[in-house]
Structure 1
Amino acid sequence: MTSDVTATTSSTPDSRVRDEIPALRIRGLVKHFGAKPAVDTLDLVVPSGSFYGLVGPNGAGKTTTLSMATGLLRPDSGQISIHGVDVWSNLLDAKRLVGNLSDGVRLFDRLTGLQLVTYAGLLSGLTREVVVERAHDLLDLLDLDAASGTLVIDYSAGMTKKIALACALVHAPRLLVLDEPFESVDPVSAANIRDILEGFVTSGGTVIVSSHAMDLVQRMCDHVAIIAQGRVLAAGTTAEVRGDSTLEDRFVELVGGRRTGEGPAWLRLS
């Protein structure tokens, strides 16, 4: 079950034109690592203004897809556009529209938190005056102001995730792509991050979140796609995809592989 869901348009002419163009459109995307297809003729449409969840088992192709969609990894074939801008024909223009938090990508961790966010903003073409103001705002928003002078290498895993999010947000992108943004983040920080992301979407931005937390995706995202073996198995609004069951049950139904039973006798203690 796949669907191209049209975003709800707002009342102004400019935003109507913007919303008719998907925040992200992927057509026939293919990527091989050796003989193995990591992404296999994948199609996906992310409506502008949506909070979009991307879920799938380990090795499904989620990270590879997002890396290609944000210009970090060149596809073997296929088309990717962000707000109508072809990513691989106009890479710099496309990257200006995106804030990216990639799972496992190394940061310049010999910089302090404030220096790292400032550096990210300067790379995006912002003036130093604007960058410094935004960096302080983001550090305060993410409860990192007390650690602004600490080297990122000395941050905890959760703090590192939050400083990477600040770097993704500093240039005020139209599309925010987050790969496992809540991994290693404590519940209070996770709630604060959700509030920030919901505010970003409410103000007209689009968020794509890749996550294994089905309950979180079901509560947070208005659209979702289930990916396995490099292909989209289902996509649409969260209500459409999960149907009468939970998103987790629908996921297991489509992906398969669940084992039932009590296990070997020696593992049962009573």
Structure 2
Amino acid sequence: MAAPLSASRLVEALRAEGVTVHEVPGWRTNNRNHKGAWGPVNGVLIHHTVTGPGTDVVNLIYDGHSALPGPLSTGCITKDGVVHLTGNGRANHAGGGDGRVLDAVINESYSGRPPATQKHDGSPGAVDGNARFYGWECENEGDGKDPWPRVQYVAMVKATAAICRAHGWGAKSAIGHLEWSDWKVDPRGIDMTDFRRDLAACLALPAGQWKGNDDMAFGDDDVKKLWYGDHIPAVPPPYNNADWLKGNKTWTAKYAIHTIAASGRETLARVKAIEAKVTSLEVGGVDLDALADKVADKLAERLAE
């Protein structure tokens, strides 16, 4: 358990990690501390905002709305990768959650994922997450289709690393809202196991060193671009699968890997067949040098297809 970071210490940690910080005017005194405890703190919760491009998302997270007063998180991470600080203290972001999950976060005792949550806000025995977690609200429509730009994802990892590093926590101190409350699905489109892997890679380096390039998991758009180049079809014939349209990165990545592997096996089989034919001709007085040239030309044509 740890005492919360001061506002100045949080800003210092974020800037050391290399993120772009915007201090929203008034954020240092914007909190819900009059409604309950703030701390001891145990981790960082990742959310999506469920907002589209027409929303003033930073002010929404700062002020809240009629049904839920702000601040709605420690900060809002927009699609351009800027970390907008919106609250310093207790915020209306986590709600009630599962005490078993909190214990697993505190002890960093789980494997790939924390135990499946069985609680939500208002559940008997639910733990007050607003007292225990920093929160990042990350700009996204939350429909599974809205993309997560790389610059935003990298900022999310680095901003989380800044808090974890300042407290001496590991990557398992960061969880998604869906891992805290069984009512929630955020951050939809991000696999928190992948996120924690990237967070661990960031924390393994000195502050500000992680670039989030080769270390970072490919998203759906990255897989499509790797597969098709710069001309990504809306629906790739003959693979008209609904998962493509939904942006299911697990399906598309898995499909790409399986197809590449199958292509490699087919190419290897062709090469072995050619080798067998060449071997059978060695005893027939054939000009193998001339034949080898023809085989090489034919193989090059096949591989270029």
- When normalised by structure 2's length, the TM-score is 0.24
If asked which structure has higher relative contact order (CA below 8 Å, sep 6+), I would say 1
Structure holding more strand per residue: 1
Structure holding more helix per residue: 2
